[in-house]
Amino acid sequence: MLDAGILISDDVVAVKSAAHKVMDEAPTLPGSIAEKLGLKPGDNKWLKIHGKDPYIQVDALMNCDTFTKN
């Protein structure tokens, strides 16, 4: 993945959620697994490549009432 910048927040869930969104919205790199699978910006790349949905962690943390997703 290309350099996508720096994410900063007091809210760990917001940073985790934003990091996944940045990765999902990024274009694929030439020669990458994502490109070979035909993934496009907006696809849940982690789910498609690894078979595990990273947003499950974000949703679980949201249910703890300690964190938010803002």
Within a domain: residue 47? yes
Within a domain: residue 69? no
The tokens describing 54, both together, are: 């990273």
* Domain total of the chain: 1
Structural domain boundaries, residue 20: 12-62
Within a domain: residue 56? yes
Within a domain: residue 22? yes
Q: Calculate the dihedral angle through the C-alpha atoms of 36, 37, 38, 39, rounding to the nearest 10 degrees.
A: -120
Measure the CA angle with vertex 21, ends 19 and 23; round to 5°: 70
pTM of the model: 0.74
Within a domain: residue 53? yes
- 60 conformational bin, left if phi > 0, alpha if psi -120 to 50, beta if neither: alpha
17-47 pLDDT, tens per residue? 999 999 999 999 999 999 999 999 999 999 9
DSSP state of 22: H
Residues 6+ apart with CB under 8 A from 43: 24
Within a domain: residue 42? yes
pLDDT of residue 1: 56
